[in-house]
Structure 1
């Protein structure tokens, strides 16, 4: 969730929903990890690159920089998770068909137990599919194959 992606469908609502999950995780003393994407459109250090305004990031939360859709590729994330003995991941955010999908599939492949709450990710309207349809489509593929999709 970065400022430069704020035109995605239901962006502000998703920030609010993510903040509610962050609150639960902080209350349970569970770690929060943010992945911060860097590319030409989200150039390092720019306003667009920064984590979304209003996102409840705390000082103790971990932020990993990434340069590909894959959160595990050359980021140190996998090493961190192994070192912290974290085996279960809850994934949310942007962009459904890129970063979220890749994180779920690669995380599953690496042996992590993945869950995602239904509707806790979003994207943009695509030439062949609305954002809402893309969200439902991916949840259908992920559920019980790569992740547990929890209806809320």
Structure 2
């Protein structure tokens, strides 16, 4: 299998300030651990950035930039998106096919939006997914804490079987990326 790591929306505006995601600095450290494993195994590392045409996460603003502390290397690929689905109106699927990718590792922000939507779309496109259960996060909401959102999605996504390919939840420490 050829593996690609998708690092979704780990951007400055989601990691700092009043609306910083839960444990964002610890999540960034785990993402760096996972991306090092992917690169060492010859896997593709793809950083995906959400953007809007105005306001929050506007293209080119400080909030839109990839988060401080996130390790990005020259061969890594950057993809811009405008919806919670990293495949919708982007060239992500074509990039993955060009590189012969057959399996995805997913991490990033926000769990209940872009991580969830992209994971489900990946399954629909035929990609098995390793969801790094301790390397995605959320701000939470008025009904659920961020930790509850993360736990709920780890369980829910791992139990979806109707697409054929499955999600397996793995910790950053336990993740193995085969060359």
TM-score (norm 1): 0.96
- 1:27 deviates by 1.5
Q: Determine the structure 2 residue equivalent to 1:109.
A: 124
Q: Determine the structure 1 residue equivalent to 2:6.
A: none
CA distance in 2, matches of 1:54, 1:118: 20
Moved over 3 A (4+): none
Q: Determine the structure 2 residue equivalent to 1:28.
A: 41
SS of the aligned residue for 2:31 comes to: helix
5+ long unaligned stretches in structure 2: 1-9, 161-165, 175-179
CA distance in 1, matches of 2:39, 2:125: 26
5+ long unaligned stretches in structure 1: none
Q: Determine the structure 1 residue equivalent to 2:25.
A: 12
Whose helix fraction is larger, Structure 1's or Structure 2's?
1
SS of the aligned residue for 1:92 comes to: strand
- 1:125 deviates by 2.3
Q: Does 1:129 align with 2:149?
A: no
Q: Determine the structure 1 residue equivalent to 2:85.
A: 70
CA RMSD across the alignment: 1.1
- 1:33 deviates by 0.4
Higher relative contact order (CA 8 A, sep 6+): 2
SS of the aligned residue for 1:42 comes to: coil
Whose strand fraction is larger, Structure 1's or Structure 2's?
2
CA deviation profile, 1:2-35 (whole Å, cap 9, x unmatched): 0000111000000000001111112222110011
CA distance in 1, matches of 2:143, 2:41: 41
- 1:59 deviates by 1.2
Equivalent in 73, 89, 105 of residue 90 of structure 1: 105
